[in-house]
Chain A
């Protein structure tokens, strides 16, 4: 199984809503990542979890809250988002020194 599964595929939420994005992998990877990608731009790193601990937070606003409940799951909790937060949110996982596997992404629209 070389898949990273993200749910939901599409999400529309209001600025006062609370929602969560989910990411799952069963490759035994101990590094998991959240990226944000705007149209026609490369992905921008948001968070990195290493062995279920938050290793990197790229100065992401607190309205984005990551969580890694176990080595296979990664969540991104969303609250009070702004329209400019609309983007494709990508989850990835890897083992050190090896390629990263990306999920298909969640297309988020904030209205």
Chain B
């Protein structure tokens, strides 16, 4: 069964600190992995997308890594800001009958405190 797990479930850090969120997946056949940021009551916003051959991708203060062998990904946030408080969702895409199947992780709720 295709599944995406994320840890921790929630995280509280102080402004300016760094943090790393984890994503483990069992999705086949793998197409790509994306990290989204979702503010409460809003739609998810894409941070990064990584394919099988990509190990690292950065987007400003966000850096995602992918280890396709161990089926693990991480999202590192540098110098956190109050506006980083949100849920971070790992979404793995598998090739399906209609082209793509998005498998969502449960998300990590990040709170950045002043």
Contact = CB atoms under 8 A, between A and B. Distances in A.
A and B are partners in one complex rather than unrelated chains? yes
A78 to B, nearest CB: 19
B43 A96 contact: no
A99 B46 contact: yes
Interface stretch (B14-22, B69-77, B78-86, B94-102): B94-102
Interface residues of B, number: 24
A42 B43 contact: no
Counting contact residues on chain A (CB < 8 A from B), the size range is 20 to 34
A102 B41 CA distance: 13
Interface stretch (A43-51, A59-67, A69-77): A43-51
Contacts of B107: 42
Contacts of B32: 97-99
Contact of A101 (B41, B46, B100, B104): B46
Interface of B: 31-32, 34, 36, 41-46, 49, 89, 91, 93, 97-100, 102, 104-107, 109
